[in-house]
């Protein structure tokens, strides 16, 4: 067996090429040191297999140099999984905190002019007026306090309603972004699998995919499965969003709550003015009486209600069994106040009272596959839009409705300075249209504080009766002030819990991310040290090749000369 003449050249050549690859890869790492989500790359080296049959020349065997068998992308899948889990949890509580804090700001309880103080001043103004009911300045104070309270309730309601619209818009945008990411992940899966099947390691494409997985991991709680061809399957709440090069869109289904009559529209009956009042609007008004002679005429009632939709914010329809359905036209929670007489109740099957209807929203993937606990920002927005904000709106609605009814009941039975009665203090039926009567604002003398028409100037007993409403159980066994304080306390607890968990999870997430960066991040000092090592190795391999060249030159040209 003769030693191959160029064996040394091949060994040196393998070292030159390998170190050149290492230097190229080091340059790539350094160039991307500031790129978010970039994972540093390394060549995995191993000795080239030895040559069979050289045992007669070399003791044992001799190798053929070095070779790079694969490209390593330094990444810890366990840390990635933990990071995405903490990200979706932190995103959930941070989103809840953001909206709750905005509600708290609208209440103004952290300042000196909060809604709670406005309620207190309103009732105190009646107590002061009861001491000198003929004092027009004190009467004006009552009117001003009523205006402040009306504005405070109306403003808070409008702010929360806008928050609900914002949450709906935010939810739509978040779902759209999740769908865009799913589509991009499917496309990347296809590109990555093609490269992996060719024996390559497309590290930069995989980095791009991991950045997208991090982002969708803040929107949803995801589960990831990686396959041998480099592709990933992404699921949320057990529903597949991405599988190989196929993705499935998440759809928002908005299903408005309905106020439905307990029985079909009654007949025969005649609806007169005042028999059906929706949100303070008489459905008949000055129109002629509406005769419902048979079930086939029920559509006349629906048409009559829909003629007033612009004023009431309510639309009407009939279900298959002929029951009347009322639906709010707003995007957020809709407040409906019904006043019905016996005839109105018989016709509609709806009892009088205050109702809060909310456009509930659900997530669907594919055909009738619902996501119940998607996690992340999207679940938090669903909770905020369909539960937290509607609950708050309903509380404000109940507070305003009770205030209007209680104050107006007493005020309408009291007498003003002119000996007149039967005049409400508030107009409107809910916080969105609450206001002090325009006639009272124009002339505080019309403020009714006396119990007896024969001696109104010195009688403030009815003003004291309104003041006592402050302490009386009016809503679910609570006074108006206690009911409001419960609202504030509930909000404060929600904010405190969300802030505590968000801050804790933020720290945990940062800690996990630091561990991720220690594995996948580019350390410039380390890269520079590697570069020097690879440079020296390259120089040494070049020196080996030069030496081998000199030796062969001596054999070829020097021997026998």
pLDDT, one tens digit per residue, over 59-97 is: 656 677 888 888 888 999 999 999 999 999 999 999 999
- The answer, yes or no, to whether residue 187 has pLDDT greater than 90, is yes
Percentage of the chain with pLDDT > 90? Answer: 57
Q: Which residue has the higher pLDDT, 559 or 413?
A: 413
Q: Which residue has the higher pLDDT, 291 or 50?
A: 291
Q: What is the pLDDT of residues 221-259, one digit of tens each?
A: 999 999 999 999 999 999 999 998 999 999 998 887 899
Q: What are phi and psi for residue 2, nearest 5 degrees?
A: -105, 140
Q: Which residue has the higher pLDDT, 454 or 531?
A: 531
Q: What is the pLDDT of residue 329?
A: 84
Question: pLDDT band for position 199 (50/70/90)?
Answer: confident
Mean pLDDT of 478-491: 89
Helix or strand run (H / E) with residue 514: helix 480-520
Q: Tokens at residue 551, please?
A: 């030796």
- Please give the Cα distance from 253 to 452 (Å, whole number): 58
Q: What is the pLDDT of residue 344?
A: 93
Q: Tokens at residue 217, please?
A: 């991991």
Q: Tokens at residue 123, please?
A: 């009732």
Cβ atoms within 10 Å, residue 110: 8
Q: What are phi and psi for residue 73, nearest 5 degrees?
A: -105, 110
Mean pLDDT of 137-151: 96
Cis peptide before 443 (omega within 30 of 0): no
Q: What is the pLDDT of residue 458?
A: 79
- Please give the Cα distance from 429 to 402 (Å, whole number): 10
Query: What value does the mean pLDDT of the chain take?
Result: 89
- The answer, yes or no, to whether residue 555 has pLDDT greater than 80, is no
Q: What is the pLDDT of residues 251-298, one digit of tens each?
A: 998 887 899 999 999 999 999 999 999 988 999 988 999 999 999 999
Structural contact between residues 396 and 430, judged by C-beta atoms closer than 8 angstroms = no
Q: What are phi and psi for residue 303, nearest 5 degrees?
A: -60, -40
- Please give the Cα distance from 224 to 235 (Å, whole number): 7
Mean pLDDT of 1-13: 70
Listed range (313-322, 359-368, 483-492) with the worst mean pLDDT: 359-368
Cα dihedral 479/481/483/484 (nearest 10): 170
Mean pLDDT of 506-525: 92
- Please give the Cα distance from 37 to 229 (Å, whole number): 22
Q: What are phi and psi for residue 304, nearest 5 degrees?
A: -65, -40
Cα 552 to Cα 8, 65, 211, 324, 403: the distances in Å are 10, 19, 54, 103, 107
- The answer, yes or no, to whether residue 216 has pLDDT greater than 90, is yes
Residues in contact with 405: Cβ distance below 8 Å, sequence separation at least 6, in sequence order: none
Question: pLDDT band for position 554 (50/70/90)?
Answer: confident
Q: What is the pLDDT of residue 61?
A: 63
Mean pLDDT of 358-378: 86
- The answer, yes or no, to whether residue 393 has pLDDT greater than 60, is yes
Residues in contact with 267: Cβ distance below 8 Å, sequence separation at least 6, in sequence order: 292, 293, 294, 295, 297, 298, 347
Query: Which 3-state string (H, E, C) describes 183-213?
Result: HHHHHHHHHHHHHHHCCCCCHHHHHHHHHHH
Q: What is the pLDDT of residues 104-143, one digit of tens each?
A: 888 877 656 788 899 999 999 999 999 999 999 999 999 9
Cα 452 to Cα 125, 132, 444, 455, 526: the distances in Å are 21, 16, 18, 6, 93
Mean pLDDT of 141-157: 94
Coil, strand or helix at 168: helix
> DSSP per residue over 224-249, as a string?
EEE-TTS-EEEEETTEEEEETTEE--
Listed range (32-41, 59-68, 321-330, 472-481) with the worst mean pLDDT: 59-68
Mean pLDDT of 424-433: 89
- 């393998």: which residue's tokens? 14
Query: Which 3-state string (H, E, C) describes 423-467?
Result: CCCEECCCCCCCEECHHHHHCHHHCCCECCCCCCCCCCHHHHHHH
- The answer, yes or no, to whether residue 459 has pLDDT greater than 80, is yes
Q: What is the pLDDT of residue 4?
A: 62
In this structure, is the dihedral angle defined by the CA atoms of residues 217, 223, 227 and 232, taken in order, positive or negative? negative
- 């002339």: which residue's tokens? 443
- The answer, yes or no, to whether residue 480 has pLDDT greater than 80, is yes
Q: What does DSSP assign to residue 475? A: B
Q: What is the pLDDT of residue 60?
A: 56
Q: What is the pLDDT of residue 369?
A: 82
Q: What is the pLDDT of residue 560?
A: 57
- The answer, yes or no, to whether residue 1 has pLDDT greater than 80, is no
Q: What is the pLDDT of residue 254?
A: 81
Percentage of the chain with pLDDT > 70? Answer: 94
Short-list 329, 406, 374, 311, CA closest to 161: 329
Q: What does DSSP assign to residue 74? A: -
Q: What does DSSP assign to residue 316? A: E
């Amino acid at each position: 067996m003769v030693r191959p003449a160029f064996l040394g050249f091949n060994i040196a050549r393998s070292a030159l090429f390998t170190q050149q690859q290492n230097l190229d890869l080091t340059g790539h790492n350094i160039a991307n040191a500031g790129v978010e989500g970039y994972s540093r790359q390394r060549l995995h080296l191993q000795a080239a297999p030895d040559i069979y049959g050289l045992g007669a020349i070399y003791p044992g065997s001799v190798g053929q140099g070095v070779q790079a068998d694969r490209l390593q992308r330094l990444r810890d899948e366990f840390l990635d999984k933990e990071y995405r889990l903490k990200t979706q949890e932190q995103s959930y509580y941070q989103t809840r905190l953001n909206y709750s804090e905005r509600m708290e700001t609208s209440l103004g309880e952290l300042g000196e002019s909060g809604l709670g103080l406005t309620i207190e001043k309103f009732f105190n103004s009646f107590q002061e007026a009861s001491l000198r009911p003929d004092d027009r300045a004190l009467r004006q104070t009552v009117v001003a306090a009523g205006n402040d309270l009306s504005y405070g309730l109306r403003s808070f309601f409008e702010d929360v309603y806008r928050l609900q619209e914002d949450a709906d818009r935010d939810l739509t945008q978040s779902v759209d972004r999740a769908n865009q990411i799913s589509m991009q992940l499917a496309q990347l899966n296809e590109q990555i699998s093609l490269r992996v099947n060719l024996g390559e390691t497309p590290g930069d494409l995989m980095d791009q995919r991991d950045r997208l997985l991090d982002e969708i991991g803040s929107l949803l709680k995801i589960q990831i499965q990686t396959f041998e061809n480099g592709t990933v399957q992404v699921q949320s709440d057990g529903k597949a969003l991405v599988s190989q090069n196929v993705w499935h869109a998440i759809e928002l289904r908005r299903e408005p709550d309905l106020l439905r009559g307990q029985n079909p529209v009654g007949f025969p009956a005649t609806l007169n003015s005042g028999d059906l009042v929706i949100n303070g609007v008489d459905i008949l008004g000055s129109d002629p009486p509406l005769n419902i002679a048979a079930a086939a005429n029920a559509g006349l009632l629906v048409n009559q209600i829909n003629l007033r939709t612009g004023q009431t914010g309510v639309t009407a329809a009939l279900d298959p069994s002929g029951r009347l359905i009322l639906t709010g036209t707003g995007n957020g929670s809709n407040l409906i106040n019904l006043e019905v007489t016996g005839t109105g109740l018989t016709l509609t099957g709806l009892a009088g009272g205050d109702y809060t209807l909310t456009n509930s929203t659900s997530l669907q993937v594919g055909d009738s596959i619902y996501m119940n606990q998607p996690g992340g920002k999207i679940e938090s927005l669903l909770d905020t839009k369909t539960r937290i904000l509607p609950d708050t709106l309903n509380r404000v609605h109940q507070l305003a409705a009770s205030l209007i009814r209680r104050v107006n009941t007493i005020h309408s039975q009291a007498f003003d300075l002119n000996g007149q009665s039967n005049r409400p203090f508030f107009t409107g039926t809910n916080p969105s249209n609450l206001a002090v009567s325009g006639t009272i604002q124009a002339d505080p003398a019309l403020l009714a504080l006396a119990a007896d028409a024969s001696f109104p100037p010195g009688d403030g007993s009815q003003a004291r009766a309104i003041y006592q409403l402050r302490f009386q159980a009016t809503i679910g066994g609570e006074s108006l002030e206690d009911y409001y304080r419960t609202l504030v306390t509930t909000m404060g607890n929600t904010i405190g819990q969300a802030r505590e968990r968000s801050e804790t999870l933020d720290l945990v997430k940062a800690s996990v991310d630091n561990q991720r960066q220690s594995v996948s991040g580019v350390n410039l000092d380390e890269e520079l040290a590697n570069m020097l090592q690879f440079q020296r190795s390259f120089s040494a391999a070049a020196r080996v090749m030069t030496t081998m060249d000199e030796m062969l030159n001596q054999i070829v040209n020097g021997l026998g000369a």
